[in-house]
């Protein structure tokens, strides 16, 4: 299975397609709860241009409650096993539970996408190290159940997130996790107001200072509602605008639901950048 660093060297930016194997996710909850439907949908995302598939068995929408270990395993492991046999596209497991991560890696996943930044389960670091997994370290204030209850920060949200990343990188390296296995995610919508989210997007370039791949997950989230409508389907256009902006800012991985349309945006921007490179006068 190709390593993310090599994929980024080849493609410059990657799209992570979302498969929610849950009954209650905000966008497509229940649609892909059956294993075969989830697998078929993942294949569709790959055909549409997904470079990574992110599988989750527990909703992390605002107000969501946690599910049991057994339930999460029943939802995600059969999907990952089938995908691993069908494709070499990297599979990511979206979980905060170390045992889910362990079994997912055994089943064929190679990335751990942990919204807690590896803080909720102390065994997660050991699992990541033992399996040489890539790790998405996300910033979140609170928990999914409480994070949107009046989110606030003592300083500028971007500075606070940078401090969090600095601490997490230092801690993970002290535990034997190599820096080239870390991916940073500022956590749009996870304990953030609309203004916080806009700051995180507008100043995306700041997070590149760590010399580590940066991932954003803006897809169809509720902070887009004031700019679109109450219908989550309409938020795709807001997601498209953010995706274009993030790609021009050099963000490495963008996690999206509608891979087909975001791949078109990525391809057009890539062609424009290539043409600019070819036609800019030397002087």
| 277 part of the active site | no
Tell me if 247 sits within 8 A of 265, measured CB to CB. yes
Q: To which residue do tokens 């991916």 refer? A: 183
Rounded CA-CA distance 243/255 in Å is 9
Phi, psi of 34 (to 5 degrees): -75, 140
> What helix, strand, coil percent values describe the chain, rounded to 5?
50, 15, 40
Catalytic-labelled residue, pool 255, 266, 275, 277: 255
Active site annotation includes 255? yes
- Cα separation, 235 vs 15, whole angstroms: 18
* CA 264/CA 48 separation, integer angstroms: 9
HEC sequence for 18-52: EEECCCCCCCCCCCCCCHHHHHHHHHHHHHCCCCE
Name the active-site residue from 75, 81, 168, 221. Answer: 221
Question: What number of other Cβ atoms are within 10 A of residue 183's Cβ?
Answer: 22
* Among candidate residues 7, 5, 81, 2, the one with its CA nearest the CA of residue 42: 81
The strand pairing partners of 54, in sequence order, are 18, 92
Angle of helix 235-248 relative to helix 194-202, nearest 10 degrees, comes to 30
Active site residues: 221, 255
């Amino acid at each position: 299975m190709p390593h993310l660093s090599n994929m980024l060297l080849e493609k410059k930016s990657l799209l992570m397609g979302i498969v929610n194997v849950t009954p209650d996710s905000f966008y497509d909850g229940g649609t892909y709860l059956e294993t075969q439907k989830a697998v078929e949908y993942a294949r569709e995302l790959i055909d549409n241009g997904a470079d990574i598939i992110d599988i989750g068995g527990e909703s992390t929408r605002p107000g969501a409650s946690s599910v049991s270990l057994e339930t999460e395993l029943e939802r995600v492991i059969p999907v990952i096993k089938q995908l691993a046999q069908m494709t070499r596209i990297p599979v990511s497991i979206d979980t905060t539970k170390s045992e889910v991560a362990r079994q997912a890696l055994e089943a064929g996943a190679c990335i751990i996408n942990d919204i807690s930044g590896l803080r909720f389960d102390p065994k997660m670091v050991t699992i990541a190290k033992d399996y040489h997994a890539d790790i998405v370290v996300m910033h979140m204030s609170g928990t999914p159940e409480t994070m949107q209850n009046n989110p606030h920060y003592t300083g500028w949200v971007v500075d606070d997130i940078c401090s969090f990343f600095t601490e997490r990188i230092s801690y993970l390296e002290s535990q034997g996790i190599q820096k080239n296995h870390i991916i940073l995610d500022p956590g749009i919508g996870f304990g953030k107001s609309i203004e916080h989210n806009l700051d995180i997007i507008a100043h995306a370039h700041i997070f590149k200072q760590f010399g580590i791949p940066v991932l954003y997950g803006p897809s169809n989230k509720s902070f887009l509602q004031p700019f679109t409508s109450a219908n989550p389907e309409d938020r795709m256009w807001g997601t498209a605008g953010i995706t274009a902006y993030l790609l021009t800012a050099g963000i490495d991985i963008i996690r999206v639901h509608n891979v087909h349309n975001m791949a078109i945006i990525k391809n057009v921007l890539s062609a424009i950048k290539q043409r600019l490179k070819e036609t800019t006068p030397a002087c």
